[in-house]
Amino acid sequence: MIILGLTGTFGAGKSTLAEILKERGYQQLVMSDVLREELRMQGKQETRDNLFVIANELRKKYGASIIVERLVEKAQKENLKKVIIDGIRTQGEIEAIKKYHGRVIAVDSSLEIRYQRIVRRGSSKDDITFEKFKEQEKAENLQECIKKADYVIFCDGNVDDLKKEAEKMINTLKL
């Protein structure tokens, strides 16, 4: 099984990159889907704060790589050959991806551009102020994950620009 872990800052384009990779036969597994299910089971609302809290609770209780481990197990049960694990947030998750001989891809762009994107996206977890957005990102320490990535895409442009950068990455990594 080929595993690609996607990390990066909020609103940078991780899900868009995943869509591009899906066109090449990858199956997308989303870290936050595991967290959403946990929130539903606990009867809690899906907010970025609650997702953050439940993720840390799971990591504390079961280990830093628990969410990745659950998704890899799911991929193995479903006999998937090419997998994207979308939403890598910690060093433990990066280590888990690499334990399975996977690669970590990071996506980033400037803070203001990303905030504009999440406001346009309009998801319930994205209903926050710019100050709260900055605070949450700092709390997650995503820049450390970006530093550990095997490949980093920086794109302040539009979807077509991201597609061009994705093609460079695909060619460089021979995906």
Query: Containing domain of residue 167, as a range?
Result: 2-173
Integer Cα distance of 154 and 106 in angstroms: 8
Single-letter residue type at 25: G
Closest to 21 (Cα-Cα) out of 5, 39, 38: 5
Q: Out of 76-85, 91-100, 123-132, 149-158, which region has the weakest mean confidence (pLDDT)?
A: 123-132
Q: What is the CATH number of the domain that holds 73?
A: 3.40.50.300
Query: Token pair 């993720």 is at which residue?
Result: 55
Residue 126, pLDDT above cutoff 80:
no
Single-letter residue type at 78: E
Residue 27's CB is within 10 A of a number of other CB atoms, namely 16
Query: With bands split at pLDDT 50, 70 and 90, how would you rate the model's confidence at 124?
Result: low
Closest to 136 (Cα-Cα) out of 43, 63, 71, 47: 47
Residue 170's CB is within 10 A of a number of other CB atoms, namely 15
Whole-number pLDDT of residue 125: 63
Average of per-residue pLDDT across 47-61: 90
Do residues 84 and 22 touch, judged by C-beta distance below 8 A? yes
Single-letter residue type at 64: A
Do β-strands 2-8 and 82-88 pair in parallel, antiparallel, or remain unpaired?
A: parallel
> What tokens does 3 get?
């595993």
Q: What is the mean pLDDT of the chain?
A: 91
Whole-number pLDDT of residue 35: 94
Query: How many domains, in total, are found in the chain?
Result: 1
Q: Residues 92-122: pLDDT tens digits? A: 999 999 999 999 999 999 999 999 998 888 7
